[in-house]
Amino acid sequence: METRPYDPETDAAGLWELKERFEHELGALGGEEKADSYGGKLTDDYRERYLDWVARCVERDPDSVTVAADGTDLAGYVFVLPEELAMIWDAAVLNELYVRESSRGTDLADDLMTAAYDCARDQELPLDRIMLDVDRENGPAGGLYARHGFESWGELRARDL
């Protein structure tokens, strides 16, 4: 399995397939209401907006999205926001990490984390730190991040608009 920068021309369909799985799995962690909410947003319009946004991020920083590929099939990805968005948390922001179920339990998640660190280290950051948020219910992801030395830092809160 190779890790390489995302190419919007050749990888968009594969990235979207993984993004859909990511959203469905996150939704399923929070019960039926959350599952319906996360699944319901995955419209054609959302797909187009998401892939356009990813393409713009990659234009700014080609290393912001790294994919794990077995030939043309994508098995995972990691998405670090471009440097100009670091001001969100005054740090690098690991926006998304996903590994297809059939590739879990391998070193793939670690390889993608390494790509995220490399991308973040190349950014000029207010704080030499990489941030992420993870659903409390997502034990496997929490375990991965703990193994990589991530610690709780504050508490993210949200409310409906």
Q: How confident is the model at residue 155 (pLDDT cuts 50, 70, 90)?
A: confident
Domains of the chain: 2-148 (3.40.630.30)
Q: What integer pLDDT is reported at residue 10 of this predicted model?
A: 95
Higher-pLDDT residue of 11, 70: 11
pLDDT digits (tens, 9 = 90+) for 97-129: 999 999 999 999 999 999 999 999 999 999 999
DSSP states of the chain as a string? -EEEE--HHHHHHHHHHHHHHHHHHHHHTTHHHHHHHHHHT--HHHHHHHHHHHHHHHHH-TTSEEEEEETTEEEEEEEE--GGGGGGTTSEEEEEEEE-GGGTTSSHHHHHHHHHHHHHHTS--SSS-EE----TT-HHHHHHHHHTT----S-------
Q: What integer pLDDT is reported at residue 13 of this predicted model?
A: 97
pLDDT digits (tens, 9 = 90+) for 121-154: 999 999 999 999 998 889 999 999 999 999 988 8
Q: What integer pLDDT is reported at residue 46 of this predicted model?
A: 97
Does the global pTM surpass 0.85?
yes
Q: What integer pLDDT is reported at residue 159 of this predicted model?
A: 84
